[in-house]
Amino acid sequence: MISSDGIRGYNDMMILYLILNEPSYGYEISKEIKNRTNSSYIIKETTLYSAFTRLEKNGYLESFYGNETFGKRRTYYRITDAGIAYYQEKCREWQLTKEVVDKFIF
């Protein structure tokens, strides 16, 4: 299992990646992170929703209600143009971070 401390700075990148092509909602995003990491990283609900709030405040994503016909209405999130630019910046940052850390791994 990956410690949340080690990956904290990249939660935004993972969330934005998952909504690059189509909007999604919290539970689906959380489930997809868990599935893609083979349960090595499970994002906490509070971490996820704090990220949504921060990303929306910074203009990187926008929220809207879905058109569910039953049950509670879901809040969906879609990436903005600024969010795409931020995602690309985070990817470059990750590449540099990985290059540096790789120099200390045998």
Break the chain down into helix, strand, coil percent, rounded to 5: 60, 10, 30
pLDDT of residue 46: 94
Q: Which amino acid is at 33?
A: I
Q: What is the C-alpha separation between 65 and 17, in angstroms, rounded? A: 20
Give the angle subtended at the CA of 95 by the CAs of 57 and 79, to the nearest 5°.
30
Of 71, 83, 77, whose CA–CA distance to 27 is shortest?
Answer: 77
**How would you write the pLDDT of the chain (106 residues) with one tens digit per residue?**
777 777 878 999 999 999 999 999 999 999 999 999 999 999 999 999 999 999 999 999 999 998 877 878 899 999 999 999 999 999 999 999 999 999 999 8
> What single DSSP character describes residue 73?
P
Q: Is-above-0.85 flag for pTM?
A: yes
> What single DSSP character describes residue 40?
S
pLDDT of residue 43: 94
pLDDT of residue 70: 80
pLDDT of residue 105: 93
pLDDT of residue 21: 96
